[in-house]
Structure formats: structure tokens, C-alpha cells
Amino acid sequence: MARVLPFVIVAAFVLSTSSVTAQDPDARQVAQERKEAELEGPKLADVLGLRPGMTVADVGAGLGAMTVVLAKSLPSGQVLATDVGARQLKVIREYVKREGVINADVIEGAQESTNLPVACCDAVFLRLVYHHVVAVDPFNRSLAAALKPGGRLAIIDSVPARGSRLPAGVPANRGGHGVPVDVVINEIKAAGLTHVRTIEKWPPGDNAPGFLILFEKP
């Protein structure tokens, strides 16, 4: 019988320290993110073509919901969640412990890099994180470097609402709080990845103005 390798998920949160809130999230916030992760996780796995034995990076752990959901659905795998902020790291660690997840670890990331090992990942995704990235070029190069040849990257985000405020430190070409689809495509292609397709409404069936852009490493 063939040996089934563990499914490994790596989570990295890259928001700037200016986005750290003064208070820990309340139960309602945690429940909402958990509900979204449980609904969206299987759909995202399908788009990325995830299979047992693959290594996947979740760049943007948020409150840790996707980390917990994926860890519980893949008990033989390992989840690594990283963040640049001390408070985010604390929230994720406490959430993982509270949920009784034993196959997840939390480590510190950086704004200029995912801090993921070179060629460690079969797939990577960023969920509502890309529009907060401030060091775009070096960060995107680190995304590409983390992927194995043929690995896939999904950027999940939304276009900026008219009149919305640009997050501190991000490039002005975002045009507000969010990021245009063509900007994402051009910036990720500049890092050496190939644009595969764009899903204009994400998650599928959701009325929210989100999108998913899929890339692949040659």
C-alpha cells in the first residue's frame, strides 16, 4: 500500500503593525470568521487542486479560523501560522489552544517576506491580505520563491469602494481600501508567476464584491 504523506498547511499573516487592534477579538468576530472559513475552505481547496501530501501556505491567518478549520479537517497534517504582530500571534495561539488543535504551530513572519522556506509549497493563498502589503516587490518575490514548480497561488481580495481610504503605507495605485484586479495581475506576473484565471465573484454564489485570481509557477 502506498504511503499517504501528511497534508501540510502553512499560514502567514502579513498585515502591517498599524492594523493591530487595541483589543482582542470578541466571540462574534471569531464565530463569523470561523463560519466563513468552514464555507469557503472546501471551495478554495478545489480551485487550488489540493490533494493529500501537498504543502499549502495560508498567507493571512487573521484570527486563525482557516488554520483551525483546516487543521481539524486534516488531522494528519501540520499547520504553521505566522504573523508580524505580537497581538495577532497571541490571538492565534490562544485560539488554537482553546480549540484543542495539536497539529498547528505559530511563528513570526515579516512585512518584506513570507518567511516561508524556498520551494516548500504546492499552493499558496492570501485571503483579504494583499491590499495591506506594503513592500510589494520583495514580498511577491518571496511568494514566488516559496512555490514549487507548478505550484499555484490564489489572491482573494476586493476592489476598493469609491471614496474609501488607502491603508497606511501601501502603494497609491490601489486607489482606496482594496486593490484592482489588473494591479494584482501585473504585480504578481512581475514576480515570475503566470496568470491562470480570474473568478470575478468569490466565494462562488456570494454577493460580496470579492474576487479570486489564480496564478501558477512555471
Angular region, 99: left φ>0, alpha ψ -120 to 50, beta rest: alpha
Give CA 39 to chain center in angstroms. Answer: 16
Q: Which of 10-14, 149-153, 184-188, 212-216 has the lowest mean pLDDT?
A: 10-14
Q: Mind listing the domains of the chain with CATH numbers? A: 8-216 (3.40.50.150)
Task: Decide: helix, strand or coil at residue 212.
Answer: strand
Residues 153-199 have pLDDT tens digits of: 999 999 999 999 999 999 999 999 999 999 999 999 999 999 999 99
Give the residue among 165, 167, 162 at the shortest CA–CA distance from 134.
167
pTM of the model: 0.85
Residues 124-139: tens digit of each pLDDT: 889 999 999 999 999 9
User: Is residue 201 over pLDDT 80?
Assistant: yes
